[in-house]
Structure 1
Amino acid sequence: MNADKSNVRFDTSPRTTDPARSELGRSAQTWPWVNWGLALSTVPASAIVMLFALGAVMSTDGCTDGGCPNLGRGGIDFGIAFYGAPLVAFVVIVISFFTAKRRKGVVVPLCGWALLIADVALMAASVAG
């Protein structure tokens, strides 16, 4: 301001009519919600994986050395399949505390989901037959 034009004021928040700019602000607010939604949904997904692992192991209960030849060497590894799922969910939530506000932070829960799906696929392939 100067003495000649004392009634002139400058707006500190620029307003734009550009729709791309206004959408950028809105999408920046939705990414943390998407990230946390995916991260927290790994908890019930890991419970489902644990139930699937329990069912897969129970389905092999009647197998002996010659009764189920398609199980492969040693059958399925119950410890990794059963206890790995909640560990994946825990690690995804902990890492999401640091990456949730970043746009590419959604990669963390997506990798967690991929690991949970791979766990189910490997268990299903090892007991199918």
Structure 2
Amino acid sequence: MRKHLLAILAAVVTVAALTGAAPAQASVGTLILGQNQSLGGLNWTFSETNGNLSPTGSDDRASSLRVTGDSAWVVYQHDNNGGRAYCVLPGQSINDLHHRWWQFGDTISSVQRLIGPNCFNFPMFLSTTL
């Protein structure tokens, strides 16, 4: 059986070499905050957890957001991951954080990148179309 596994592995490596394919790697991605609805106005992009958005100029100014890559993100009402929080899934966009369902526009003061695409026990935004 070991010979068969080694033969399969050798075949995969050969095909990858012939096609120029590189091994798949996870894309950590980013969280993009938009000053206005639908990412209008200024945009701020984060690739790592940030406990205080004041120095970035985005503190309490986001009206929309989008997550790229493979990691979920949590946005917090206060610095250092305090106050109300919502988790955003990979690929999710919220075009209007002011919407009555969550009333979270102009309130994000810190952000946390999670390891992986899951929100665990964090509350989540209910829709990707608003």
TM value normalised by structure 2 = 0.27
Larger fraction in strand: 2
Larger fraction in helix: 1
Of structures 1 and 2, the one scoring higher in RCO (CA 8 A, sep 6+) is 1
